[in-house]
Amino acid sequence: MEIKSVLNNVEDAQSATAFKDSANEPEKKSFIKKIFGQSNLGDFIFEKLTLLFAVLVFLLVILMAYEMYTNSRLSIAKFGWGFLTSSTWDPVTEVYGALPVIYGTVVSSLLALLIAVPLGLGVAVFLSEIAPGWLEKPLSFLTELLAGIPSVVYGLWGIFVLVPWLRDSIEPFLQDHFGKLPFFQGAPYGFGMLAAALILSVMVLPIISSISRDILRSVPFTLREAAYGIGATKWEVTKLVLSNARSGLLGAIMLGLGRAIGETMAVTMVIGNRPIISASLFDPSYTMASVLANEFTEATSDLYMNALIELALVLFVITIIINMFAQLLVWSMNRKWKKG
């Protein structure tokens, strides 16, 4: 018993001196500095502050949906689901049916993909599998440059270069040779579905190609080596890589689709802006985004405004669904290789 207490005394005495030695400088600080400088309070505040902003971003998406929903109640109450299936869009009689513009949106986007997907995948294959290093970098840069051109500049170019060219050369040519097909009927004005689809294809091409390129690159090199090892040609190896990456590539294409559906300015400037459903690519059409761009500031009645905001809500929901699927596909693709 005695020994133990003596031992304790020794330890106490020594740890006390040690304490004094080590404590000389920091202990002198003021209370506030001690709180903020020494304890975990700074870390706590920092973490919660960044969390707050993350929550803000989270709420933002929800807030957007809520805002559009509450501001389109008149239209939702009046037309119900008929808003999506009725084909009359007439501000004069206050009847709003979105079918023609949904049709125009979907068709112009799909046509754009028809052109952009083969090209985009071709570019991606070229960049990731074929191009030598010295060519790959500048080429990637150029395609990214294409993505950086503002939409309105595409539209400007569309109005003054693409449309006259279509009107004077391409559309007459198509009519002369394929005039019997329903796609090439009517007067070739230049403005219309064809112009919109072409412009859109140029605009989504860099998205599809750059995301696809990244996905192809994420496929492990060992897979290629294995294929080369059994005597496959470069194209056969590429096919194998493509088939291994197909879900990610589908994601890339869907991201392109999402972009095409929401693209506004360039389309508005060349599509002709008439809410009709026609098989002919020469005829004018209208997209959801174009309606908003053209008519939003002209909406005189509350119902008209509500119908337009409902259109924005529909556009929002469609693009969110497409993007969710696309992101999940791209994410799962990246994850697959990271784990393996």
Partner 1 sequence: MSNEEIKSAVIASTGTAGIVQQSPKISAKDFCAYFGKFKALNNINIDVPEKKVVAIIGPSGCGKSTFLRSINRMHEVVGGTITGSLTLDGEEIMKSDAVMIRRKIGMVFQKPNPFPTMSIFNNVIAGYKLNGHHNKKNLAEIVEKSLRQAALWDEVKDKLNKSGADISGGQQQRLCIARTIAINPEVILMDEPASALDPISTAKIEELIFELKKDYTIVIVTHNTQQAARVSDSTAFFYMGELIEYSGTKKMFTSPEKKQTEDYITGRFG
Partner 2 sequence: MEKRVELNTFSFFRRKIVNAVMLSLSLLAAIITIIPLILIFYYTISKGITYLNLDFFIHMPKPVGESGGGMANAIVGTLILIGIGGAIGIPVGILTGTYLSEFGNNKFGFMVRFLTDVLSGIPSIVVGVVAYTMVVIPMRHFSALAGGIALGILMIPTITRTTEEMIRLVPQSYREAGLALGIQKWKTTLLIVLRTAWKGIATGILLGLSRAAGETAPLLFTALGNRFWSTKIFQPMASLTVYIYDYAKAPFEDWNKQAWTAALVLILIISFFSLMFRIITRSKYKV
Contacts to partner 1 by CB under 8 A? 3, 6-7, 9-11, 13-15, 18-19, 22, 26, 33, 37-40
Q: Which does 202 bind (CB under 5 to 8 A by kind): partner 2, partner 1, none?
A: partner 2
CB of 324 to partner 2, least distance (A): 6
CB of 165 to partner 2, least distance (A): 10
Provide the 8-state DSSP code for 72: T
Task: Decide: 101 and 288 in contact? Cβ < 8 Å.
Answer: yes
| 15 vs 169, beta carbon nearer partner 1 | 15
90 forms bridges with which residues in the sheet?
95
| 1 vs 52, beta carbon nearer partner 1 | 1
Work out whether 247 is an interface residue with partner 2 (CB under 8 A): no
Q: Which does 223 bind (CB under 5 to 8 A by kind): partner 1, partner 2, none?
A: none
Work out whether 108 is an interface residue with partner 2 (CB under 8 A): no
Structural tokens at position 93: 């009689």
| 18 vs 135, beta carbon nearer partner 1 | 18
| 6 vs 54, beta carbon nearer partner 1 | 6
**Three-class SS of 316-339:** HHHHHHHHHHHHHHHHHHHHHHHH
> Residue count at the site for partner 2 (CB under 8 A)?
88
CB of 25 to partner 1, least distance (A): 8
| 12 vs 47, beta carbon nearer partner 2 | 47
Task: Decide: 266 and 158 in contact? Cβ < 8 Å.
Answer: yes
285 forms bridges with which residues in the sheet?
272
Q: Which does 9 bind (CB under 5 to 8 A by kind): partner 2, partner 1, none?
A: partner 1
**What is the C-alpha separation between 9 and 126, in angstroms, rounded?**
79
Q: How would DSSP label each residue in 243-293?
A: HHTHHHHHHHHHHHHHHHHH--HHHHHHSB------S-TTS-B--HHHHHH
Residue where the block lists tokens 């805002």: 67
Task: Decide: 151 and 130 in contact? Cβ < 8 Å.
Answer: no
96 — phi, psi (to 5°)? -125, 110
Q: Which does 262 bind (CB under 5 to 8 A by kind): partner 2, partner 1, none?
A: partner 2
Q: Pick out residues in 71-90 that bind partner 2 (CB under 8 A).
A: 71
Q: What angle do CA 82, 83, 84 make, to 5 degrees?
A: 90
Q: Which does 142 bind (CB under 5 to 8 A by kind): partner 2, partner 1, none?
A: partner 2
Work out whether 106 is an interface residue with partner 2 (CB under 8 A): no
CB of 211 to partner 2, least distance (A): 12
